[in-house]
Structure 1
């Protein structure tokens, strides 16, 4: 049997050969005329046991559990291959999607947890090229229709910066008919964007899955004469759970989780997804494109809400198999034998490399660029033996379903899996001891028997191998805040800072919370780079807040700098403003600071380290300012910027 070192050596040699051939105008095994169209479809939070081709007897303990009818995906399994040991790169949305697009572990990209609107983790297009870029460079027409969820910084994080010619996306979960997120501070926020970053409101009232399927068919029609790459990251069955046949349902009408009603809505959403996938299959068939199209279907992570992850343990958010093992189907007539089942251990980045290799586009991967996946086609088509002893790793950092109460990491080599959990000890610290578990997945896919005590030699070997793996897969620090020299273009005037708010003419990446004070907040606008609003006396809790969500490099920054002008219309004085510092959701302690209400510009520097929240920050933190409170007459508040800086 080949050692892991031998396997890696042979794989790197194959990549180099394929890359060299592609650079000469073709690939080692794909002629330009034979390049397939590629359709990659992904569900969101789909359970491993939710497709009838994976669970025909509907086993499992989902509420009101019945078989979900997925005839089109079942037919895809019969026409191609069903992978039973395929894994996502992370147990949550954003890291998994980043891994797919870059063919790299999310840890290499500084992606530990979720991507929120204020965390422009998508700022990687220049230094972290994507499969969209490589396929576009290889002559493919490219499109993305669906849930993007890897950042929403206009012109930087959106699909156009990642190699996609055309796109229609949401960046986060939203009402399927309303296309708005009614969740707390996001209430009423438009969530559907098209090519160029323009908001789309004309499609409101139409179920998102229908919109994206129709866009996909239109794209296929337009690009029949050239190879195309169609990326369809559908949003279902992620919450809110909404019956696709009932447009009256709002975001908050989603039934209680884990209830029979929730399962009923969940089933309808998955069956509706299958039917829309069927329309895409029919579009390919009717245009004579099926035989030359590679189609892949999977999920971004394990199921949640009312999903059925049978026979796996736990769900989304966790590194047990229920959080990371996904259904995966691949179809390519004449290449992948029909009706096959593959037990080849594999991961999301394998799908990435498989698509790029099938397109003969490996030559567009920058020299020296490490890809964390392999081309599965030789194994799937039967021209190569299954690869034994592959190693995979996962890390789950910061926010979790337990409100940041758990961190996990896992390592898989062959059939063995080491699972390690960290637990908190309070005051932002975590236990030094790891609760290690060791499982033989070949005999115990449900992870019921911890073999740490029974297999001491294997346990020791796995710990050592994991440590070496982590040395190779170097973990980057998340870079959620965009560093800027100075938004006015004068680097000598201000020291290097991290921008929290720098206001553009059309929009800014953050939130302005005015709940309970709508009648006392008037004329908010952004003009010539300045945010301006009028506040009247009588403000009630919560005082209007300008803020953004997400991770902050608290070990690098210690001051908040605010440039603000406050003008009192009639009278003098007003109450203080506050630096808003919330470590997790709305939990934290703010820091008040006095303001000069003299109608002149002033800069205020607040020592953020004085708030306990600064030392307990999570990726669900919130940062910004509470605006100053008017005394007896209205005030006009103008803000140039809010930044972070080193002390």
Structure 2
């Protein structure tokens, strides 16, 4: 049976699987071999803060995401480095803020345009230097020039699209003209017209895992969904047919993701690599409320904000790490953690030394062993356009705050200074700036002292 037939056989499994209790899944036959662990980092695109069952969603079916959580650690205060795509991805790959990584805004989606500088050291380069095989599969959106595409940024193998999104069947980027085809395998453009991109991703990942099962590998598996265009697998749209239209199509896209994550998990277990593989899963930022996705079907739960916003709904994301037999199971970590932390954490868990200068991330290894360990970041700073934010302890200050969630009880005007104590007001409903001027000044001072601060963005 070839890989394509194998994939089709797996994805044809009946939805009766929904009745299976995933907590009873059998353990892997793998035993620790002393080898360095594989790492599979899964990034979803525009997935809302609570849009997994294990994060509180009551109307979604996400057994495979939930399985990773039950076999590992789930973060309740995990923050993306940006509320838009490219800067978030750059922060993961570099372990630095988007500004330090050279990617403060979205990369162009046209061929020949550069993105994240080739001088930025990536986690793939770190892993490769330690003997790892490295692969990127899926969305890139960090540069479309020869020296900023994946093969020039530390990836031995790459399959996917270079721009911000594609149609999942034609593989064309068509948000503004001229329409252009965008599907590449390594440095070559490939044409697979009519084939469903999430299935192509999964097929390429299965092939890669099997070809490299004897060596430690790092696989960056970057979905372009539930980002628009909203094109879920038809069986999932039918599964959610009784939900309102916006939520129905979005939910179907989330389960399309989940099913393919399950295929990767199953293959790792089939190969006896379960205890030798670290899975990391997160969303790149909050859900979209853009017109192109029907004004959005995702959810941030109680939180204000969505994609493009530095309110919690734009940057607080689901995040999970699992390494059976090596890290605690079914653990919930309530301490703040940040996307920039993955590079030093993964390197630490894999026993890899690196010498990246001015790394913004901190290893979470201690927190994974003891979830009550203190957060190693004294404070953290975000900036996107003229919006900026500082978090220190439970306090968060947003400059030029913009709410893209359109919650009925909240206005969406831009406020120059917005102060909140997240432990007391997680919904970010009440601006305390006028009542707490000393705290405002303290957090503004942190922003002013940040290397990439722009004094013109401080308005009061």
TM-score for the superposition, normalised by structure 1: 0.59
Matching residue of 1:124: 117
Which residue of structure 2 lines up, in the alignment, with residue 42 of structure 1?
Answer: 43
Residue 453 of structure 1: which of 434, 440, 455 is its match? Answer: 434
CA contact (8 A) 1:132 1:142 kept: yes
Paired residues of 2:249 and 2:297 also in contact (CA < 8 A): no
Q: How far does residue 123 in structure 1 lie from its aligned partner after superposition?
A: 5.1
- Determine whether 1:409 maps to 2:361: no
Q: 1:107 and 2:99 equivalent? A: yes
Query: Alignment partner of 2:76: what SS?
Result: strand
In 1, Cα distance between the equivalents of 2:181 and 2:76?
38
CA distance in 1, matches of 2:342, 2:99: 18
User: Which segments of 5 or more consecutive residues in structure 1 lack a partner in the other structure?
Assistant: 1-30, 59-66, 247-258, 398-406, 424-432, 476-647
1:384-463 equivalences in 2 (<5 Å): 385-387=373-375, 390-397=378-385, 407-421=386-400, 435-463=416-444
Task: List alignment gaps of at least 5 residues for structure 2.
Answer: 1-31, 236-242, 289-295, 403-413, 455-460
- State the alpha-carbon separation in 2 of the partners of residues 314 and 422 from structure 1: 10
Q: CA deviation at 1:372?
A: 0.7
**8 Å contact from structure 1 (residues 35, 359) kept in 2:** yes
8 Å CA contact 1:411, 1:417 repeated in 2: yes
Q: How many residues align?
A: 397
**Deviations 1:451-484, CA, capped at 9 Å, x for gaps:** 112222222222222222x13x578xxxxxxxxx
Indicate the SS of the match to 1:163: coil
Match of 1:429 in 2: none
Q: Indicate the residue corresponding to 1:506 in structure 2.
A: none
**1:175 corresponds to:** 167
| 1:53 partner SS | helix
Conservation of the 8 A alpha-carbon contact between 1:32 and 1:360: no
Q: Secondary structure at the match of 2:53?
A: coil
Q: 2:101, 2:361 → 1: CA distance?
A: 15
Distance 2:100 2:33 in 1: 32
Checking the alignment, whether the CA contact within 8 Å between 1:174 and 1:191 is kept in structure 2 is: yes
Asked if the contact 1:388/1:414 (under 8 Å) is kept, the reply is no
8 Å CA contact 2:102, 2:117 repeated in 1: no
Please state whether the residue corresponding to 1:378 is helix, strand or coil.
helix
Cα gap change, 1:384 to 1:444, in 2 (>3 Å): closer
TM superposition shift of 1:148 = 0.3
TM-score (norm. length: structure 2): 0.82
Q: Is the 8 A contact 1:378 1:384 kept in 2?
A: no
Partner of 2:363: 375
Cα deviation, residue 110, structure 1: 3.6
Q: Does the CA-based 8 Å contact 1:49-1:311 persist in structure 2?
A: no
CA distance in structure 2 between the aligned counterparts of 1:292 and 1:206, rounded to whole angstroms: 32
From the two aligned structures, give the one with the greater helix fraction.
2
CA–CA distance in structure 2, aligned partners of residues 342 and 370 of structure 1: 26
Higher radius of gyration, 1 or 2 = 1
Which residues in structure 2 correspond to 1:52-451 (within 5 Å)? 52-56=53-57, 58=58, 67-118=59-110, 120-122=113-115, 124-125=117-118, 127-153=119-145, 155-171=146-162, 172-187=164-179, 189-195=180-186, 197-201=187-191, 203-245=192-234, 260-304=244-288, 305-363=296-354, 365-366=355-356, 369-382=357-370, 385-387=373-375, 390-397=378-385, 407-421=386-400, 435-451=416-432
In terms of mean alpha carbon deviation, does 352-361 or 173-182 score higher? 352-361
C-alpha deviation, 1:204, in angstroms: 2.1
Shift of 1:209: 1.1
Are 1:389 and 1:414, in contact at CA under 8 Å, matched by a contact in 2? Answer: no
User: In the TM superposition, what whole-angstrom CA distance separates every residue of 1:338-369 from its partner, at most 9, and x where no partner exists?
Assistant: 11100121111111221122222223x34xx1
CA shift digits 1:548-587 (9 cap, x unpaired)? xxxxxxxxxxxxxxxxxxxxxxxxxxxxxxxxxxxxxxxx
Change (3 A) 1:120 1:343: farther
Structure 1 runs of 4+ aligned residues shifted over 4 Å read: none
Tell me the residue number matched to 2:445.
Answer: 464
